[in-house]
Amino acid sequence: MDIDLIVEPDLNPAQLLEIAQAAEKLGIRGLWTSNYFAHWDPFISLALAAQQTQRLLLGALAVSPFEMHPLKISNALLSLNEISGGRAMVAVGAGEGNLEAMALKKPKKVVGAIREALEIVHKAANGELAAGYQGEHFNVNLPCTYDWHKSTPPLIYGTAYHSMMMRMEARVADGVYIGCTPPEIAEPAMENVRIGLGRREHQPVDFRINTFWGWHIKKDRAEAYRESRRELPWRARKLDPELLALYLTDDEVKLVRDNYDNYVQSYFDRSGHVKEVPEEISNRLCEGLTSTGGLEDLDREIERFRKFAAAGFTEIALRLHDDPMDALTLIGKHVLPALR
Amino acid sequence: MDIDIIVEPDVSPQGLAELAVEAEKLGFRALWSSNYHQNWDCFLALAPAAQATSKILLGPLAVSPWELHPLKMANSLLTLNEMSKGRAILAVSGGGGVLGAMGWKISKDAPMWPFKNPDKGDRSPERRVAGVHECIEFLQIARSGKMTYAYDGDTFQVTRPFVMEYATSDGPLIYGCCSGPMMIRMGARIADGIQVSDFTVDMMPEALENMRQGLSRREQPAEDFRFGNFWAWHIKPDETASMYEARRELIWRGAIAAKNAHDIRPHLDNDDEVQLVIDQWDNLFKAFWTRSGKIDGLAEEIVNRLIHGMSSAGGPDRIEQEIERYRQFANSGVTELSLRLFDDPMEALQMIGARVMPALR
């Protein structure tokens, strides 16, 4: 199983380059920028890294076709792919915060719309869009030959939390990016992926199964927990009770749900202090839903990553937060050698 | 008057960087990338040029908010602006080929974006002037770096508080692509500049009057309002090659593309010839998409009059005449002439650098 990194959206292109060069040297497979609504453009900001690295994959996570037409996604992705010599990737998803920020809405048939978007981007990347595309949601009305795109096609993932999306993406994309699924419940996700793969006309040579996973291991264990609690409102499908129940009692689940706004507040005030919820409960979630702890917890996390690998994941994408270079160094020193 | 260049959308990022370095050396003000529907991303393609240069302005021409929401546009623009240390420029338009290719429609009450109008079945933008206005206004807020709680336009909204903290450089310059009277007045009222397209010298007085009206309505007077004109450059060492290229591209000259009889008329002898040109629109288009440059149904003499009226074409011996035309543009109030290059852009750039730039200094 490979390791990818996902970084905060506030890193500038020079910082991304620095991380990319270090990651490449350490043997990380891919670097993902975060597509947030008032931050660096996730494709353009990778241009420097694309020019100055040789092997590392580079991509944007995640881009919704409801915020950016699949044709525009294609143009950005293929431009990055050419600049990087065939190392670009993208994760296409239904979209959350960006859509809300732009007052844009999703269609009712969201799985169908994402399928169309993936098909358009895939056709563009493989020189198959010359006849255009007429979908229910998205059209390409002019011939698109993309004859300037010469590199190996980019990797196109779909992001998924739920079964129908997973199946569809396994059917049409190059990979599925499963959101924050702990190994305990990986098997149902894998079953959906297998169902989707079974419906493909041609089995892919190297279908990718990735998952987003929060990384909060630090030398300072208390600081690691604080950072992890701060990010909790965005974990596990925004603290979906079904996932909380893996680690909490029914009463504790209710307490957490009732205080969801306090979790959000602890993110925005950057405190990691969640009012009204005992810290021990939040810390249990941190341990279940992310990799959180000190250096003494590294072996436990490596064991968890082995479970991901055994479940069938081809890579996990570790989401870094504060001090990404410190995190990368730890991962390079302890995690990568253990997983080789 | 400054000179800008606009290049074909199929020039690679590396090619753009090489052109930008040369253009900067020759004293050009700006290099514009072209935003087409199946080509390089018009922002990302400029990233290598931003790294390789230090003075020249860099930006896409043109991007419509109906193809890229103003919030996304702001992020792309400000990212390029930071990478170029404050040298990004952008021309915002109301439509264009990209929009046609993807069939967006946006509506405040639409169930999703894009939205297909259930009655008309189309996805054309409505209230284009107002939409471009909102987009430019939003971009100006975004570049200010100030915390803003929301933007509630009729067409485009941003519902969350935002501050582009990463945007610390000066600029970028924001133009409106404004060729119609209302659009020119709107652009002059709120943008940093306007870019008209294929305007001949005799079209300038009316444009300037509209621009003055817009400028008079500004809340704050513009210190250095920019008035650019997109103008096709086909002059080559080989006159035959030049005229072929000019014939091939003639369909896209503003008046012809829009079948605007009023603006075609000054180049022809009578209304019948104007109608003939409009009737042969498909053949003009065919000359472009087949790359043949062969326009069936129109006499060469008519075609040549249109070409010389609406663009700079011919051999090097035409340059003096063109310089005279450019001086008239400058006297009309144009602050920069944006020369659209086609085949062999480096050769064109060097010719302009050697012959045109010194004459206009």
| Enclosing H/E stretch for A187 | helix A186-198
| Enclosing H/E stretch for B130 | helix B128-144
3-state secondary structure at position B62: strand
Tell me, yes or no, if B109 comes closer than 8 A to chain A by beta carbon. no
Q: Which residues contact B174 (CB under 8 A, 6 or more apart)?
A: B77, B89, B90, B92, B136, B139, B140, B143, B191, B192, B193
pLDDT at A101: 87
Largest CA distance in chain A: 59
Q: Are strands B2-6 and A315-319 parallel, antiparallel or unpaired?
A: unpaired
Highest mean pLDDT, choosing among B90-99, B120-129, B141-150:
B141-150
Nearest chain A residue to B123 by CA distance is A139
pTM value?
0.95
Q: Phi-psi bin for B86: left (phi > 0), alpha (psi -120 to 50), beta?
A: left
Tell me, yes or no, if A41 comes closer than 8 A to chain B by beta carbon. yes
Q: What percent of chain B is predicted at pLDDT more than 70?
A: 94
Question: What amino acid is encoded at B197 in this protein?
Answer: S
Contact B75 A43 (CB under 8 A): no
Q: Whole-angstrom Cα distance, residue A70 to residue A141?
A: 12
Chain centroid to CA A5:
9
Q: What is the pLDDT of residues A212-240, one digit of tens each?
A: 999 999 999 999 999 999 999 999 989 99
pLDDT band at A100 (very low <50, low <70, confident <90, very high): confident
Q: Whole-angstrom Cα distance, residue A257 to residue A243?
A: 12
Q: Decide: B301 and B293 in contact? Cβ < 8 Å.
A: no
Q: A4 has which bridge partners? A: A30, A317
Q: Whole-angstrom Cα distance, residue B267 to residue B264?
A: 6
Q: Whole-angstrom Cα distance, residue B73 to residue B135?
A: 9
Question: What amino acid is encoded at B28 in this protein?
Answer: F
CB nearest to A76's CB, from B44, B102, B160: B44
Contact A139 B103 (CB under 8 A): yes
Question: What amino acid is encoded at B199 in this protein?
Answer: F
Indicate whether B111 pLDDT > 60. no
CB nearest to A75's CB, from B39, B80, B156: B39
The complex scores an ipTM of 0.95
Q: Whole-angstrom Cα distance, residue A125 to residue B339?
A: 32
Contact A66 B112 (CB under 8 A): yes
Indicate whether A29 pLDDT > 50. yes
Q: Whole-angstrom Cα distance, residue A231 to residue A282?
A: 11
Nearest chain B residue to A124 by CA distance is B38
Indicate whether B343 pLDDT > 90. yes
Min Cα separation B78/chain A (Å): 8
| Enclosing H/E stretch for A157 | strand A155-160
Which chain B residues have a beta carbon less than 8 Å from that of A145? Answer: 38
Q: What is the pLDDT of residues A268-321, one digit of tens each?
A: 999 999 999 999 999 999 999 999 999 999 999 999 999 999 999 999 999 999
Q: Are strands B336-340 and B57-63 parallel, antiparallel or unpaired?
A: unpaired
Q: Whole-angstrom Cα distance, residue A298 to residue A1?
A: 17
pLDDT at B105: 44
Angle at A146 between CA A143 and CA A152, to 5 degrees: 145
* DSSP state, residue B354: I
Residue A157: both structure tokens together: 């993932």
* DSSP state, residue B118: T
pLDDT at A97: 86
Which chain A residues have a beta carbon less than 8 Å from that of B123? Answer: 139
pLDDT at A105: 79
How large is the angle between the packed helices A186-198 and A163-172, nearest 10 degrees? 40
Contact A13 B166 (CB under 8 A): no
CB nearest to A104's CB, from B40, B75, B113: B113
Residue B157: both structure tokens together: 């909204």
Nearest chain B residue to A52 by CA distance is B48
Q: Phi-psi bin for A47: left (phi > 0), alpha (psi -120 to 50), beta?
A: alpha
Q: Which one of B12, B39, B41, B106 makes the best mutation probe of the A interface by having the most chain A beta carbons within 10 Å? A: B41
pLDDT at B106: 40
Domains of chain B from N-terminus onward:
2-237+315-360 (3.20.20.30), 238-314 (no CATH)
Mean of pLDDT values over B150-159: 91
| Enclosing H/E stretch for A63 | strand A57-63
Q: Whole-angstrom Cα distance, residue B361 to residue B330?
A: 11
Which chain A residues have a beta carbon less than 8 Å from that of B48? Answer: 47, 51, 83
Tell me, yes or no, if A144 comes closer than 8 A to chain B by beta carbon. yes
Q: What is the pLDDT of residues A321-332, one digit of tens each?
A: 999 999 999 999
Q: What is the pLDDT of residues A229-280, one digit of tens each?
A: 999 999 998 999 999 999 999 999 999 999 999 999 999 999 999 999 999 9
Mean of pLDDT values over A172-177: 97
Domains of chain A from N-terminus onward:
2-219+294-339 (3.20.20.30), 236-288 (no CATH)
Count of helices and strands (H, E) across chain B: 16, 11
CB nearest to A76's CB, from B41, B142, B166: B41
Q: Whole-angstrom Cα distance, residue B176 to residue B183?
A: 8
Sole residue written with tokens 């091939």: B248
Tell me, yes or no, if B113 comes closer than 8 A to chain A by beta carbon. yes
Candidates B230, B131, B127, B133; CA nearest to B188 is B133
Contact A69 B47 (CB under 8 A): no
What rounded mean pLDDT belongs to chain A? 95
